[in-house]
Chain A
């Protein structure tokens, strides 16, 4: 879990709250997406980074362009994992 994804999910939640009065049905759908992202943040915090990052991305996509902040945060987590996996693979072969 990184700060960028937390801020992104918080902004998505704020947008969801902002449209609640005018579009209650849409806000319910968006709230479900925020819940999905929040679950992803929880999973990241508990150590299941890959699944958590994908949940953050899935929940943030309906909020694009604002949702890209959370998407990029989650992508950083996945990229860091890819680098760690690559380094392990390289070290294992040498």
Chain B
């Protein structure tokens, strides 16, 4: 089984998102201190962002198992389980855009911008190999 976690560096990375969540909480607390009740929403959003980042650090976004791919890109995103033999093709449009098209016509976008270059290459090449092997 191969697992692919979210990267830590860059704007898409978990470290920056942790800082952004902290900033949201601080700004929210400051807003509440000045009497703006809307700061509560910022604090709530910051706390939930912390949980989302923590989730991304602990759970792989994509898992390639023996006969299928298991993908869940975010806590509130849908879980996609697709057998390799049900995959029609893998389309790579750019570094940020890669899609798996299934034989039932579904087009799933892979969360490639959230991986390191090495992980992205590994995911795409492994997926390509397994799709071809299942034919």
Contacts and interface: CB of A to CB of B under 8 A. Distances in A.
Given A68-B76, A72-B75, A72-B76, A86 B48 contact: no
Nearest to B44: A65
Contacts of B76: 68, 71-72, 75
A51 B40 CA distance: 32
Chain B residues touching A, majority SS: mixed
A86 B81 contact: yes
A72 B48 CA distance: 11
Interface of B: 41, 44-45, 47-48, 67-68, 72, 75-81, 83, 85
Given A64-B45, A66-B44, 10 more contacts: A65-B44, A65-B45, A71-B76, A75-B78, A78-B79, A79-B72, A82-B79, A82-B81, A86-B68, A90-B67
A83 interface: yes
B79 A83 contact: yes
Which of A66, A82, A86 has most chain B Cβ within 10 Å? A86
The contact size tier of chain A is 10 to 19
A86 B80 CA distance: 9
Nearest to B45: A65
Contacts of A86: 68, 81
Interface string A72-94: 10010011001100100110010
A90 B65 CA distance: 13
Contacts of B45: 64-65
B81 A83 contact: yes
Interface string A30-68: 000000000000000000000000000000000011101
Contacts of A90: 67-68, 83
A64 B46 CA distance: 12
A52 to B, nearest CB: 16
5 contacts: A68-B48, A79-B78, A79-B79, A82-B79, A90-B67
